[in-house]
Chains A and B, each alone.
Chain A
Amino acid sequence: MTTLSTPALAAQQLGVGYLERAVIERLSLEIAHGGITALVGPNGSGKSTLLKTLARLLKPSAGTVLLDGKAIHTLSTTEIARQMAILPQGPSAPHGVTVRELVEQGRYAHVGALRMLKHQDHEAITRALELTDMTAFSHRALDSLSGGERQRAWIALTLAQDTPILLLDEPTTFLDIGHQLEVLELVEQLNRERGMTILLVLHDLNQAARYADRMIVLNGGQIRADGAPSEILTPDLLADVFGVRVNIVTDPATGTPVCLPYGVAGRKAATTEAAISEPMAFTMQSVSAAPIHA
């Protein structure tokens, strides 16, 4: 049934809410096979909620999620797990679990709870460890590793699932810049070399622009912009969605757009000038929490 035109993942008129509050309303979206798509947006924009709903971790109040053209609620969770892996935000393993023991669990959807691992399972596990460069850490306990190594171990778990689609919820949070890029380079490698379809939530707009083929900007549970990073990263959009004034320049090394925020949109000029004098003091995260005067 799968044709090239069938999207890997799609949302149709999706609505999601916690208790009474609607986080996402009537959102439709299609993710094609084979690309890297970044979901970005301010805090509370619904990007994590959308990712979790697409991964069937949250139940939508309205609408449907289609996985390879099939409504996700008609599929068993095991069937889904063979098609799509998800790494939630900030996962934690119990004390004493080693990297290999963690990664082995990724075979659950293939072998079930009672059966033993077969040859192809061991191969998938070994491959996942090699791809993430974690082979040397196989027998180390997860809680003895650094943050970057630990995150690679968790990614290895999702890779052992051997799925064509991978969803990542803020995989770079709490990592230093070196480890952030390491994770993103791995994502790029998985996409280029193994053709995996990757959808990830990112906080850093510049990293999203650098590594993603497509960026989806969410605000208030709605898609505000959707397209190639160079098309959608504009000063107007960032002022509108994040409430920041930015300059957009082109990175001489990669040719991708980079935004340089210099102030909060809608503030008086004096504040803006002060901000210009020390632009590096502003991070996207601290600014995005400020009130929006669009």
Chain B
Amino acid sequence: MATFDTVHESANIIPDVRPFAVRRFPLFLALSLGVIALLIVLHIAVGTLDFSPVQIVKALVDQAEDPLHRQVVWGLRLPRALVAIVAGAMLGLAGAILQTVTRNPLAEPGLMGVSSGGVLAIVIYIVFGAGVSADSGLILPLVGLIGGMTAATLTYLLSYSNGTDPIRLVLTGVLVAGMCSAFTSLLLLWADDYQVQRIIRWTVGSTSGRVWVHWETLYPIALIAIPIGLVSAGLANVLQLGDSVARGIGQRVELARLFLLFAASLLTAGAVAVVGAVGFIGLIGPHMARRIVGGDVRRLFPMSVILTAALLIGSDILARTLTIGWIGIITGLDIPDTAGLPVGAVTALLGAPFFLVLLLRRKHAL
């Protein structure tokens, strides 16, 4: 019996007490992707114009009976759904990376000041920039991206002193974020009513009115940043054991951390630049993912991507039904599609109680 295979045989005898999502992770991942597809169809179905799922699928595969269906589905609703999915995915991955790098379960994508920096840059552009024009769909995301990455760089440089320390990084991030938010608030006083309306949508985060032009700024960043984040799982797995252990195992700790922080900043800045500072999902998504698939980052990262994407599109479905379905009926007004409740308000409303439960549980555990 002393064959080469004894190693594997004995490995099979060990009771595998891990949950289903861990043991059959690829299958679980595929199932989750199926759920995402269903959510996309549901997201498209909800709105002022009612569609049946069959009509949506027909419109999506370009077989719509009514040209209006095709126009609404392809021109308005599909890009919004895709933007929500991808922005959610990016925020989820960013949150997972930062929670791992800082070894802090309460870290979120805005940790490095990226969200506040991105929003500030956008607000400055809205208030002082020449263009209040409609074509800002392309310019604003670029401005936001630059703002976010600038804030992240500032946080990194300010916290660097003979190496970076996760705690110093978190504190500096809070500082930079606070400064950016303060400037944003000051600019709110400066701005006129119309500008204030727009600014608040960016600070809260909103997917309404996101069309193909937004998609076209979002997907190239996602296409670069999401793979970078996912392949860095091996680095993150070692780094999350702490600096001393990671260095002992053979990791160049500072370099690994810089790479991961860069990936997280790019993911956050890219998402915030298109949908604004949507709160809480980048905190909750990775946290839920960790509960489902455990602490191994090779599972945690992909799961955070999918789960947070589902959370954002789910919240957006809620945001749309809440406004159109209720306020529209109660007031009897014809509320346009673009005037829905900002999705950031929904995520905050759902996220804050979740956060509280989390804190209470931790207190209980101690």
CA distance A106 to B237 in the complex (A): 11
CA distance A96 to B14 in the complex (A): 18
| A105 and B237 contact, CB distance less than 8 A | yes
Closest to B251 in A: A108
Give residues of chain B (229-273) contacting chain A, Cβ–Cβ below 8 Å.
Answer: 231-232, 234-235, 237-238, 240-242, 244-245, 247-252, 256
* Set of chain B residues within 8 Å of A55, measured between Cβ atoms: 248
| B17 and A91 contact, CB distance less than 8 A | no
| A78 and B248 contact, CB distance less than 8 A | no
| A96 and B294 contact, CB distance less than 8 A | yes
Per-position 1/0 for B285-308, Cβ under 8 A of A: 000001100111000000000000
| A96 and B247 contact, CB distance less than 8 A | no
Contact (A105, B241) CB under 8 Å given A95-B105, A141-B295: yes
A233 within 8 A of B: no
Minimum CB–CB distance for B353 against chain A, Å: 21
User: How many chain-B residues does the 8 Å CB contact rule pick out?
Assistant: 34
* Set of chain A residues within 8 Å of B129, measured between Cβ atoms: none
| B249 and A91 contact, CB distance less than 8 A | no
| A105 and B249 contact, CB distance less than 8 A | yes
Give residues of chain B (201-242) contacting chain A, Cβ–Cβ below 8 Å.
Answer: 231-232, 234-235, 237-238, 240-242
B11 within 8 A of A: yes
Closest to B245 in A: A91
Task: Say which one of A82-90, A195-203, A250-258 lies at the interface with B.
Answer: A82-90
Minimum CB–CB distance for A133 against chain B, Å: 13
Give residues of chain B (1-43) contacting chain A, Cβ–Cβ below 8 Å.
Answer: 7, 10-11, 14-18
* Set of chain A residues within 8 Å of B7, measured between Cβ atoms: 122-123, 126
* Set of chain A residues within 8 Å of B256, measured between Cβ atoms: 113
B103 within 8 A of A: yes
| B242 and A91 contact, CB distance less than 8 A | yes
Contact partner of B249 (CB less than 8 A), chosen from A95, A136, A161, is A161
| A126 and B11 contact, CB distance less than 8 A | yes
A-B contact pairs, 27 of them (CB 8 A): A55-B248, A56-B247, A57-B244, A86-B244, A86-B248, A87-B248, A88-B242, A88-B245, A93-B295, A94-B100, A94-B240, A96-B294, A97-B294, A101-B295, A101-B296, A105-B238, A105-B241, A105-B249, A108-B238, A109-B249, A109-B250, A113-B232, A122-B7, A126-B7, A136-B14, A139-B16, A158-B248
Residues of B at the A interface (CB closer than 8 Å) are: 7, 10-11, 14-18, 100, 103, 105, 231-232, 234-235, 237-238, 240-242, 244-245, 247-252, 256, 290-291, 294-296
The 4 closest A-B pairs by CB, nearest first: A81-B250, A109-B250, A96-B295, A97-B295
Residues of A at the B interface (CB closer than 8 Å) are: 52, 55-57, 77-78, 80-82, 85-88, 91-98, 101-102, 105-106, 108-109, 112-114, 122-123, 126, 135-136, 138-141, 157-158, 161
